[in-house]
Amino acid sequence: MEHFPEVLTREQSDQMIRQMELHFEEFGYGLWAVELRWAGKFIGFCGLSVPTFHTHFTPAVEIGWRFTRDEWGNGYATEAGRAAVDFGFEQADLDEILSWTVPANQRSQRVMARLGMTRAPELDFDHPRLLDDDRYRHHVVYRITREDWEQARPPSH
């Protein structure tokens, strides 16, 4: 939550989980819980979601992730992100996946690049749920299309 306006309360967190469950019911995909299988430890979430706010590029599908701070830098966001991108194009039959963050969140932008996403400055936006003077309002956007993903995949034999 380093690049978010505030940490969620327990009630807000519980509400977010309810929304995630409803998203799966409506769209057939959503944000997956991520755990270290060998340790049986929940470390965050990653997956695909349809944003509920409106801006110049919505409707859209976003890939997103949040991991516990002590797991940052271990490659889990990239690994889970690749699974989510693959699912989006192979199973959910998407044509495009977007991701966004505040400009200061360089770690997430590096994950986006490792997933084959490219900056799409024409899609940058000010988050409509944040106040005009909020330092987290402006977001940069990355994208990957089905065509980009297909070209980047190793040939199958």
Domain boundaries, the chain: 10-152
Tell me the per-residue pLDDT of 57-102, one tens digit each, with 9 for 90 and over.
Answer: 999 999 999 888 788 888 899 999 999 999 999 999 999 999 999 9
* The predicted structure's pLDDT at residue 130: 81
Report whether 58 contacts 85 (CB < 8 A).
no
* Count of CB atoms situated within 10 Å of the CB of 48: 23
* The predicted structure's pLDDT at residue 19: 84
Q: Which residues contact 148 (CB under 8 A, 6 or more apart)?
A: 116, 118
Distance separating alpha carbons of residues 25 and 44, to the nearest angstrom:
21
* The predicted structure's pLDDT at residue 2: 52
- Helical H runs in 115-152? 146-152
Strand partners, 42: 35
Reported confidence tier of residue 127, pLDDT bands at 50, 70, 90: very high
Distance separating alpha carbons of residues 76 and 74, to the nearest angstrom:
6
For 126, the enclosing helix (H) or strand (E) is strand 125-126
* The predicted structure's pLDDT at residue 8: 62
Tell me the per-residue pLDDT of 5-35, one tens digit each, with 9 for 90 and over.
Answer: 456 677 876 677 788 788 889 999 999 989 9
Amino acid at 4: F
Distance separating alpha carbons of residues 35 and 155, to the nearest angstrom:
30
Tell me the per-residue pLDDT of 115-126, one tens digit each, with 9 for 90 and over.
Answer: 999 999 999 999
Q: Which residues contact 87 (CB under 8 A, 6 or more apart)?
A: 29, 48
Two tokens at 79? 């690994």
Q: What is the dotted CATH code of the domain comprising 10-152? A: 3.40.630.30
Distance separating alpha carbons of residues 118 and 94, to the nearest angstrom:
17
* The predicted structure's pLDDT at residue 38: 86
Reported confidence tier of residue 1, pLDDT bands at 50, 70, 90: very low
- State pTM to two decimals: 0.85
Q: Which residues contact 42 (CB under 8 A, 6 or more apart)?
A: 33, 34, 35
* The predicted structure's pLDDT at residue 16: 74
